[in-house]
Amino acid sequence: MSFDPEKTTQLLSELRSNAPEEFQQTFIDIEDNWERKLWHQLTDVLVNFFSDPDSSPVRTVLFLRFVSSFADKINQLKFIHLALLVAPDYETDAQRLRFFKSLTKQVDKPSSQDAYVYSLVSLADVKLRLKDDEARKDLDKAEAILDTFDSVETEVHAAFYRTNARYYQAKLEFAPFYKNALLYLACIDPKTLSADEARSRAYDLSIAALVSDSIYNFGELLLHPILESLVGTEHSWLRDMLFAYNRGDLRAYNNLEANLPRARILEEHKNFLRQKISLSALTEAVFRRSPHDRAMTFETIASETQVQPQEIEILIMKALSLGLLRGSIDQVAEVAKINWVQPKVLDMKQVDNMRVRLKEWDSSVNQLGHWIEAVGKDVWAA
């Protein structure tokens, strides 16, 4: 597409004359930088202008009839960033789909593969809203290219993880959603999220962590500040439940279980959640015991996990198969011999229990030292 400089000058003049007083200087800066071919400075002015919600009435025309005229002269990543600021001004997703298809083709060059990925992910995001199965192909293509980069702008990774998380959430694939949602949060400053968005993301992550049949360690989420956005809200019980799972606290879970109907998906997984807290109680019971005292009878395990005696062996085998524990089962003696438990994030009470155990270990080492000294006096003297 060719652009006439005279028409461009006329367009800028018209937009400036119709612009509100607060944008007059902005249009003067835009014209000045464009005439002087100061592309970097011009891009920065445009990004600031497009980021202002009040620029909405002119963003689309300015992008299509002005920015597109020198698109190949500016940073391609910022070009796509400008496009992302324009996209919400389109009335329908169908229009946005055509918009990003054109842009993605435009930046698909060896020198601008980061911008291509950025645009491709944005295209996939629109396809997801349109329930277009082609979104997965776009995301896989973007991921393959990302894996070849030594480094890339954080905003590109953030866009990929955000859209990938949305895809897995729509497919009810909780573990990959949980992983990608946390990776997205790692790419951004949580303070930039609105209160509503932070609560929504914390809620979705909490649900995924609880319902997933492969996530038994919530350490990354428990340590993330976004979880605090649930405090004092109607969903604060979800945060409490995550901590109850982390410490294997059956009593706390039993008190919180009445809240499950408030989240339909949790109510549908009620039996699974009961098994999951039993597994957590089992690993916590093993963790609390001394490394030399981890041969546990089925009766002890039944007491610690509130599981019926006939289900104890199945519970232990489940924990072993998931990698939560390592050890063996003596079916005849009805004893589980555990030699390893999966590490996890500890709360203050668990840290205090570890402190007590370390003191006991220190005391036993001292006692052993004194005993060796006492029985070996003649050897030491020689």
Q: Is 126 left (phi over 0), alpha (psi -120 to 50) or beta?
A: alpha
Asked if residue 361 has pLDDT above 80, the reply is no
Asked if residue 76 has pLDDT above 80, the reply is yes
Helix (H, G, I), strand (E, B) or coil at 329: strand
- Work out the number of other CB atoms within 10 angstroms of the CB of residue 285: 19
Retrieve residue 210's tokens. 């609880």
Helix (H, G, I), strand (E, B) or coil at 295: strand
Q: Are 114 and 149 in contact (CB under 8 A)?
A: yes
Instruction: Tell me the C-alpha distance between 129 and 277, whole Å.
Output: 35
Query: What percentage of the chain reaches a pLDDT higher than 70?
Result: 94
Q: Which residues have a Cβ under 8 Å from the Cβ of 65 and sit 6 or more positions away?
A: 3, 8, 11
Q: Are 84 and 122 in contact (CB under 8 A)?
A: yes
Instruction: Tell me the C-alpha distance between 104 and 136, whole Å.
Output: 16
Full strand arrangement of the beta sheet holding 325-330: 295-297, 335-341, 325-330
Q: What is the pLDDT of residues 212-256, one digit of tens each?
A: 999 999 889 999 999 999 999 999 999 999 999 999 999 999 999
The mean per-residue pLDDT over the stretch 97-126 comes to 97
pLDDT at 357: 64
Alpha helices in the chain (DSSP H): 5-18, 24-35, 39-51, 56-65, 76-86, 93-106, 113-129, 134-146, 154-170, 174-187, 195-211, 219-222, 236-246, 250-256, 264-268, 270-288, 298-305, 312-321, 348-375, 377-381
Q: What is the pLDDT of residues 333-357, one digit of tens each?
A: 999 999 998 887 666 666 666 676 6
pTM of the model: 0.87
More confident residue, 315 or 377: 315
pLDDT at 2: 52
More confident residue, 382 or 74: 74
Q: Which of 288, 297, 293, 287 has its CA nearest to residue 340?
A: 287
